[in-house]
Amino acid sequence: MRNSPAAAPGEVTLVARLPRSVGPGQLVLADREFLGVPLWQAFTATGADLLWRVPANRVLPVTRQFRDGSWLSHIRASSGPARDEPVVVRVLAYRVKEQAGADGADGYRLVTTLLDARRYPARQLAALYRERWEIESVFAEIKTHQRGARVVLSSKTPEGVRQQIWAHLLVHHALRELMLRTAATRGLDPDRVSFTETLRSARRSVTVTPGSFSP
For residue 183, the model assigns a pLDDT of: 93
At 102, the pLDDT band (50, 70, 90 cuts) reads: very low
Residue ranges of E strands in 47-182? 49-53, 64-65, 71-75, 87-94, 102-105, 108-112
In the chain, what are the domain boundaries?
Answer: 11-130, 152-208
For residue 211, the model assigns a pLDDT of: 53
Phi, psi of 47 (to 5 degrees): 95, -5
pLDDT tens digits, 7-18: 567 787 888 899
Q: Is the pLDDT of residue 24 over 70?
A: yes
Q: Is the pLDDT of residue 184 over 60?
A: yes
